[in-house]
């Protein structure tokens, strides 16, 4: 689900691998305009279309040697899905308006909050592309399914946010932590981080149960 930490998992994969010194490029497929997607993914050559004043490298070139993280991959158009499938199969791609192939050297990590099996049945997602992407499937659970991790996450966020603000980390009471563990967290880890930042700003010397009940 949204906010569960899919990009953090992708980053961990990248920085634990032999590609760690190369780029990690995260792309939110859900916000890419359909008409610009082929150029953004594969690049284009000067003069290909109105406004193409220079050659432009695409995501595959920018992430060369590293990892390309495709978030919300289920939102890609069928046209771009077909182009992506060909690149994964052939290990190469052709920039828009060019007649020269380029070698593709990236690790692809794709993420989605959609049911792609349903999207396949509804003909919104290519089954062959799904099987190309789903070699290894990692399920990132919602926070409510691993509430036991909340104390460690809270401690991490308190340290991180305090460092960003240039202040000392605030202690948090045990009953306040217990209350945080009982919350539903529909926004998952992203929501938890925002709540901890709010508590740090609005609490006094320490974060108490009353603070959690008042500000969460």
- What string of pLDDT tens digits covers the 216 residues of the chain? 999 999 999 999 999 999 999 999 999 999 999 888 999 999 988 877 777 778 889 999 999 999 999 999 999 999 999 999 999 999 999 998 988 899 999 999 999 999 999 999 999 999 999 999 999 999 999 999 999 999 999 999 999 999 999 999 999 999 999 999 999 999 999 999 999 999 999 999 999 999 999 999
Q: Which of 174, 138, 132 is nearest to 4 (CA)?
A: 138
Length of the chain: 216
Q: Which of 141, 121, 117, 139 is nearest to 130 (CA)?
A: 117
Q: Which of 4, 85, 100, 99 is nearest to 41 (CA)?
A: 85
Place of tokens 């349903």: 118
CA distance 190 to 183: 14
For position 48, what pLDDT does the model report?
Answer: 78
Residues 6+ apart with CB under 8 A from 122: none
Cα dihedral 125→67→109→194 (10° resolution)? -110
pTM of structure: 0.86
Is 102:93 a contact under the CB 8 Å cutoff?
A: yes
Q: Which of 43, 136, 129 is nearest to 89 (CA)?
A: 129
* CB atoms inside a 10 Å sphere around CB 8: 11
């Amino acid at each position: 689900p949204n906010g569960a930490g899919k990009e953090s998992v992708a980053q961990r994969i990248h920085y634990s691998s032999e590609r760690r010194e190369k780029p990690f490029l995260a792309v939110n497929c859900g916000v890419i305009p359909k008409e610009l997607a082929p150029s953004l993914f594969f690049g284009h050559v000067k003069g290909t279309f109105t406004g193409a004043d220079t050659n432009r490298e695409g995501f595959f070139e920018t992430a060369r040697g590293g990892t390309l993280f495709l978030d919300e991959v289920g939102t890609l158009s069928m046209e771009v899905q077909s182009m992506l499938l060909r690149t994964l199969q052939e290990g190469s791609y052709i920039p828009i308006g060019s007649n020269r192939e380029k070698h593709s050297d990236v690790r692809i990590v794709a993420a989605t909050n959609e049911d792609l099996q349903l999207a396949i049945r509804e003909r919104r997602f290519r089954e062959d592309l799904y099987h190309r992407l789903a070699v290894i499937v990692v399920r990132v659970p919602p926070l409510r399914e691993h509430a036991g991790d909340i104390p460690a996450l809270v401690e991490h966020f308190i340290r991180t946010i305090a460092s960003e603000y240039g202040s000392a980390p605030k202690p948090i009471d045990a009953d306040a932590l217990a209350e945080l563990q009982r919350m539903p967290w529909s926004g998952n880890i992203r929501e938890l981080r925002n709540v901890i930042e709010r508590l740090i700003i609005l609490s006094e010397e320490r974060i108490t149960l009353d603070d959690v009940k008042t500000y969460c």
